[in-house]
Amino acid sequence: MRYRRSVRVAGGKLVASGGHEMHAATFLRSRRMVFESELRLDPAEWRRIVVHELFHFAWVRLGNHARRGWHELLCAEFAAGAKGELGWSAEWRKERLSLLRLSARTRLARDYACESFCDSAAWLYAGLDGHEEFTLPARWRKPRRLWFIQHLGDRAVPL
């Protein structure tokens, strides 16, 4: 884990200017995470972001069957018209998707699935009662919690 005044990424690499500004970035192959320095001033937000970034490592180790199951859960939500998400990283991707693109597992759809998994983990494990980015209605959060229980075990999910 490292800290920088500003975290900007372009083409999968940290850049000094341009690119996308974000709170943190994870680089799986080199096993490193870079966080915006200001996060240290807000312990709750720091926890939320750290949990999200850690779950990128969990995502790649889940296996295809579990990732496919998560994708199917998202397709069911999307088809039923579920709005909102559990973090901005998933929400902006969701806003750019259609059910057809999600079902076809396009690159954007795969990125959305990963980010929604990590944002959902942050919602479950960061210990926050609420957050302005938790916009997914409660009726859609319950199936996500149950998915985590099914795939990670009930001791791993706060009730």
pLDDT digits (tens, 9 = 90+) for 59-104: 999 999 999 999 999 999 999 999 999 999 899 899 999 999 999 9
Co-location of 22 and 49 in the same domain:
no
Determine the pLDDT at residue 36.
84
At 150-159, the pLDDT tens digits run: 998 876 666 5
Query: Distance between CA atoms of 33 and 17, rounded to whole angstroms?
Result: 19
- Domains held by the chain: number: 2
CB 137 within 8 A of CB 83: yes
Compute how many other C-beta atoms are within 10 angstroms of the C-beta atom of residue 90. Answer: 25
146 and 103 housed in the same domain: yes
Q: Are residues 47 and 11 in the same domain?
A: no
Within this chain, do residues 80 and 128 fall inside the same structural domain, yes or no? yes
Based on the fold, state whether residues 76 and 31 are members of the same structural domain. Answer: no
Question: Does residue 104 sit in the same domain as residue 150?
Answer: yes
Q: Residue 11: what pLDDT? A: 72
Q: What is the pLDDT of residue 16?
A: 63
Structure tokens at 38: 């200001």
- pLDDT above 70 covers a percentage of the chain that reads 89
pLDDT over 90 for what percent of the chain?
66
Asked if 33 and 49 sit in the same domain, the reply is: no
Question: What average pLDDT does the chain have?
Answer: 88
pTM over 0.95: no
Range of the domain at 49: 42-156
Do residue 6 and residue 76 come from a single domain?
A: no
For residue 106, what pLDDT is reported?
93
Q: Are residues 34 and 50 in the same domain?
A: no
DSSP code, position 124: H
Q: Give CA torsion, residues 96, 100, 105, 109, to 10 deg.
A: 10
What contacts 24+ positions apart, CB below 8 Å, involve 64-67? 66/151, 67/113
Residue 52 pLDDT more than 80?
yes
CA distance linking residue 47 with residue 45, whole number of Å:
5
Q: Output the pLDDT for position 4.
A: 74
Query: Angle 88-95/107-125 helices, nearest 10 degrees?
Result: 150
Same domain, 117 and 147: yes
User: Do 59 and 120 fall into the same domain?
Assistant: yes
Distance of alpha carbon 80 from alpha carbon 91, whole angstroms: 16
Structure tokens belonging to residue 45: 């937000």
Question: Is the domain of 28 the same as that of 6?
Answer: yes
Give the torsion sign (CA, 142, 145, 147, 153): negative
Residue 115 has a CB neighbour count (10 Å cut-off) of: 24
Looking up tokens 């999307």 gives 78
Per the CB < 8 A criterion, the answer to whether 56 and 114 are in contact is yes
Q: How far apart are CA 16 and CA 7, in angstroms?
A: 8
